[in-house]
Structure 1
């Protein structure tokens, strides 16, 4: 039997915006959680379309083990659809723990790996592994000398940048970041000078990506294995065109209770556990 309540969509990604739109279109009540006001803008159009029939809320903030249970109760959450970034390990682990504890259904929406979406790219990845260009963690990468003397572009988000601070005297480091105060401050604290930072919200076109790498005379690029949704296909395309090694950091290993990469399956999960919120007004 379906129950009244809300879906908790853990958002902040492009695919979560697509899921929010589909959930709203299905007239299901949903609360999307994001960590910044900027990320909230991903859902503006979905909110506008849903306001007359399906309450779609966007909650901004960071949840902890102390506040998560209250959040679930306050929002009347009956099921969780986790569409957070593949590297947002903390929120996924928290959601898994609290839903297991409270017996709330959980489904992970995992963006496909680029090799699954890119077909023939799998062979390229295997070649990269043989060359040692795929690392399991940032710590593993910085423990090698692969960046020694290189002009390195880091497209990894702001959180790992502190790990590269000791490399500021051993390589010439650049970073492409989101245009946020937090990101810029973190980069400066890690030893990056303003002339070695480029702040722009994705998607980044191949032409712009290529122009940036050429302008900075980049010789090595470090990125995350974030899939096509994270622009990994563009980076690999440009790297191949310019003959620049692309160092990829593998996704953190997490065991999800259940997961899918199919939007239809994710929507069916929401419909299974939630009855339509408000019918369209006539």
Structure 2
């Protein structure tokens, strides 16, 4: 049995390819109801919607006779990945990381990019600007709200149009004027229109990768001479990592 830690577009593409190429049972976990529904209905994979601790992961591995964990979660789901690595090690099974290739930031002018290690550093850098456009999601919004003065006049979040995300931002004291709830991906032109509409002085984003729309965001901001604060990916020592699905499938066939 293969256990897929799902929740990204890459994980869904991976599942499709696995079903086409390998005769093995697949079970997947997702962090949202939407992710579970997609796995159940579109990909016909047994899916469970639950966030698991490391100990719960070990129980899950034993209960479902897991042979491989394939971690295809978001590059910034740091806790999930670290727990999965430990659970696999303690259960003496194989952990494999499948991660979208990161965008090569060296192709852009250094002076235009402000690279930071975490959200707090991003908030501290963003505070040097007036109007701040964030495409970092709602999960870490409190860090920006708590560290930036007059946040209702300065912070503008673009998030997925899900009720729980909207509720979280409203609970933090943000208003509808601070929130753009939209489903991507977005073109360079659309990003530019949004940056102009919100009169953004700086963009804060994550180094998610090409599929996360990072390239179009950077190019849109550069053309408008808007500085970009980029939160770099967490540094995780993965036991084995694959950036190409075909290489991962070949590994599974030979092992």
TM-score when scaled to structure 1? 0.83
Correspondence for 1:89 among 78, 91, 114: 78
Determine which structure has greater relative contact order: mean sequence separation of CA pairs < 8 Å that are 6+ residues apart, divided by chain length: 1
Once the two structures are superposed, residues 175-231 of structure 1 have per-residue CA deviations (whole angstroms, 9 ceiling, x without a partner) of 011122221122123332112111122212223222221111111110001110111
Correspondence for 2:243 among 261, 264, 279: 261
| Partner secondary structure for residue 236 of structure 2 | coil
Partner of 1:279: none
Once the two structures are superposed, residues 35-69 of structure 1 have per-residue CA deviations (whole angstroms, 9 ceiling, x without a partner) of 1111235434322xxxxxxxx21221111123212
Shift of the 214–268 alpha-carbon distance from structure 1 to 2, 3 Å rule, reads: same
Tell me by how many angstroms 1:125 deviates.
5.6
Partner of 2:119: 138
**Residue 200 (str. 1) matches residue 196 (str. 2):** no
| Partner secondary structure for residue 140 of structure 2 | helix
Question: Does structure 2 conserve the Cα–Cα contact (< 8 Å) formed by 1:142 and 1:164?
Answer: yes
Question: Does structure 1 conserve the Cα–Cα contact (< 8 Å) formed by 2:203 and 2:229?
Answer: yes
Partner of 1:164: 144
Correspondence for 1:20 among 15, 18, 42: 15
| Partner secondary structure for residue 264 of structure 1 | helix
Partner of 1:182: 164
Question: Does structure 1 conserve the Cα–Cα contact (< 8 Å) formed by 2:55 and 2:87?
Answer: no
Correspondence for 2:131 among 130, 143, 151: 151
Partner of 1:124: 108
Give every structure 1 segment of 4 or more consecutive aligned residues whose post-TM-superposition deviation is greater than 6 Å: none
| Partner secondary structure for residue 95 of structure 1 | helix
Counterparts of 2:15 and 2:28 in 1: how far apart (Å)?
A: 8
**Residue 29 (str. 1) matches residue 13 (str. 2):** no
**Equivalence map 1:229-244=2 (5 Å):** 229-244=211-226
Counterparts of 1:199 and 1:28 in 2: how far apart (Å)?
A: 39
Partner of 2:87: 98
**Residue 39 (str. 1) matches residue 35 (str. 2):** yes
Q: Which moved more, 1:167-176 or 1:24-33?
A: 167-176
TM-score when scaled to structure 2? 0.91
| Partner secondary structure for residue 150 of structure 1 | coil
Counterparts of 1:109 and 1:75 in 2: how far apart (Å)?
A: 21
| Partner secondary structure for residue 66 of structure 1 | helix
Question: Does structure 2 conserve the Cα–Cα contact (< 8 Å) formed by 1:108 and 1:259?
Answer: yes
Partner of 1:75: 64
Once the two structures are superposed, residues 110-141 of structure 1 have per-residue CA deviations (whole angstroms, 9 ceiling, x without a partner) of 211110xxxxx523164445xxx111111123
**Equivalence map 1:246-257=2 (5 Å):** 246-257=228-239
Q: What is the root-mean-square deviation of aligned Cα atoms in Å?
A: 1.8
The runs of 5 or more residues in structure 1 that have no matched partner are: 1-5, 48-55, 116-120, 274-282
Counterparts of 2:183 and 2:24 in 1: how far apart (Å)?
A: 30
Counterparts of 1:65 and 1:221 in 2: how far apart (Å)?
A: 35
